[in-house]
Amino acid sequence: MRKFNGYQRGVNLGGWLSQRISTEPEYMDSFITEDDVKRIAGWGFDHVRLPVDYDVIEEDDGRPVESGHKHIEDCISWCRKYGLNIVLDLHKSYGYMFDKGAVPDADRFFTDQALQDRFILTWENLISRYGSDHDIIAFELLNEVVNPLYTEKWNDIADRAIDIIRSHEKDAIIILGGVRNNSVLSVPSLRRPRDSRIVYNFHCYEPLCFTHQKAYWVDNSDFDLTYPGELSEYIEKSRLLGEDDIADVIEELGQTSGVEFFEKIFAPAIDYAKKMDAMLYCGEYGVIDRAPAADAMRWISDINEAFAKYGIGRALWNYKEKDFGLIDRHYDGIRDDVIKTMVISNES
C-alpha cells in the first residue's frame, strides 16, 4: 500500500474554526496562534488537520466572510514558516453536519439538489482561494457522513466535488471518507480513485466504549472502562453503543486491546486500498479525558504501532480542549510519552 508521505503524524486543531464555543473575535484570534503551530512543529509532527465550518468562511447566502478566511490564511502562513502540511477539512457544510441537532434534518443534504449545489460552490470557492497552496494542503471533502443509506449518493456528490477541484488544480490531494461517521469498515464502499492523488480516509475511536466513556453526547456511555479490560464488559458495552461489529471482533479475537485488534478492524480498508492502489489516512483518533490517562497511553501506543506498520497517515484528536485536548491538564503526566510514541512510530 502506498504511504501518505507528509501526513504521517499530525494533530487536529478542532474547536477553532469548527465547533467553536465562541464566535467573538477575541476567541478566534487567540484560540490557536503562531506559537501553537511552532510548538506542534517542534514536537516533530509533519502536519495539522484544520477543521473548518462553512459559516466561518461564508454567509448563508454564499458571500465570503473575509475574517474567517484570514484565519485560514494565517494558519497556512504559520505552517509554511515552520514546515508543516495542512489537511483542510470541511467539517460542516451548508445543510449538513454529522453532529446530531447541529443541522435540522441533515439527511436532506443527500436528496436536495440545492444543498448539494451549495456544497459544490463552497468547494469551488475553497479551491479557487487555496488551490495554489496544494504543495502543503490536502483537501478533505467532508468530515463524516453518517447514514449508510446514502452510500452511493455520497459517492455521486463526492465525484462532483472532485471534478470541481480537479478543474482548478489537477495535482491537489483530495481526501475522501465513507459512511457511518467515516468508519474504517466503510472504506471499501468508496469508489475506485480516478487518479493517484485521491486518499481514502477514516476515523478510529474503537472500541468506542473505551475512548468515549462518559461522553455527554453519546447515549448509554455513563460507565468506566480500563484498557485493556474485561472481555465480557467490552462486548456488552460495545453492543450497548450499537457497535455490534466491533463487539464481534473483540469476541472473535478474545482480547480487548493490542495491535492485533487494530490490525483486524483495519484489514478490509488496507486490502481495499492495496487493490485500488490508494493511500490511507486516519483523520481522527484519540481518547476522551474521562478515561484513565495511563490506559489512554496504552491505547494510543497500540493504534500508532498499527498505523506505522502499514504506513497509514493520521492526526490525533485534539490539540486543545474538545474533551480530548493533548495540551490540557489530563495529559500532563503522559503528554511527552504520547508525542514520543507518535513521532518515533513514524521514523521507520
Q: How many domains would you assign to the chain? A: 1
Angle at CA of residue 237, ends 100 and 209, nearest 5°: 60
Residue 179 covered by a domain: yes
Q: Which domain holds residue 191?
A: 10-344
Confidence (pLDDT) at 348: 47
Confidence (pLDDT) at 345: 66
Query: What CATH number did the domain enclosing 70 receive?
Result: 3.20.20.80
**CA–CA dist 284, 343 (Å, integer):** 16
Residue 1 covered by a domain: no
144 annotated active-site: yes
Residue 84 covered by a domain: yes
What's CA 106's distance to the chain center, in Å? 19
Confidence (pLDDT) at 101: 78
Confidence (pLDDT) at 100: 79
pTM of the model: 0.97
Angle at CA of residue 175, ends 105 and 283, nearest 5°: 80
Residue 2 covered by a domain: no
Residue 320 covered by a domain: yes
Q: 156-181: string of b/e by CB count within 10 Å (b at 16+)?
A: ebbeebbebbbebbeebbbbbbbbbb
Note whether 49 and 40 are within 8 A (CB): no
Residues of the chain with pLDDT under 50: 348
Residue 268 covered by a domain: yes
Confidence (pLDDT) at 347: 56
Residue 3 covered by a domain: no
Instruction: Cite the beta strand spans of 167-235 per DSSP E.
Output: 173-177, 198-204
Single out the catalytic residue among 24, 26, 34, 144.
Answer: 144
